[in-house]
Amino acid sequence: MSEITSQYKELKSMLVDRNPEDDPGDIKRREDYFQTFNSPHGFRVLEDMLIELKIFDSIANEEDVVLANYGRVLLNKIGILREENFSKIIKDYMTMARVGYQQQNNKQGTEAE
């Protein structure tokens, strides 16, 4: 196994595969993270943090990798980035894309009239 593959598998196990039920403290910690960001203020702060952590940007250098990976750790701690949520996340992404596509088409149709 290559070094990169090995590092990827280690990182994935830390970010996604770790079961919070393995440690009772993790359950409480996840609840604390969730409650912290589960309000209008918390949502805005989380959004700002994820932007600063370059979750939505292209990765340009090693610093970006570190920032984006910490963003993923944060999403995991909140309980979002979990393997059991992947299908829902993808469905939500596709819904956002469909709505954006429909809005763009509606705007273009209105401009053509």
Q: Answer yes or no: do 54 and 101 share one domain.
A: no
**Mean pLDDT score across all residues of the chain:** 84
What count of Cα atoms within 13 Å lies in the side-chain half-sphere of residue 82? Answer: 11
Range of the domain at 109: 85-113
Q: Answer yes or no: do 103 and 56 share one domain.
A: no
Q: Answer yes or no: do 110 and 76 share one domain.
A: no
- Cα–Cα distances (Å) from 19 to 13, 58, 110, in that order, read 9, 29, 50
Say what the pLDDT of residue 95 is. 94
Q: Answer yes or no: do 60 and 96 share one domain.
A: no
Say what the pLDDT of residue 16 is. 56
Q: Which of 23, 18, 39 is nearest to 82 (CA)?
A: 18
Q: Answer yes or no: do 92 and 111 share one domain.
A: yes
Q: Answer yes or no: do 19 and 74 share one domain.
A: yes
Its pTM stands at 0.66
Number of domains into which the chain is organized: 2
Q: Answer yes or no: do 18 and 59 share one domain.
A: yes
Question: Whole-angstrom Cα distance, residue 88 to residue 67?
Answer: 24
Q: Answer yes or no: do 49 and 69 share one domain.
A: yes
Say what the pLDDT of residue 17 is. 55
Query: Which amino acid, 38?
Result: N
pLDDT in tens, 40-68: 999 999 999 999 999 999 999 999 999 99
Q: Answer yes or no: do 60 and 89 share one domain.
A: no
Q: Answer yes or no: do 10 and 39 share one domain.
A: yes
Question: Whole-angstrom Cα distance, residue 68 to residue 64?
Answer: 6
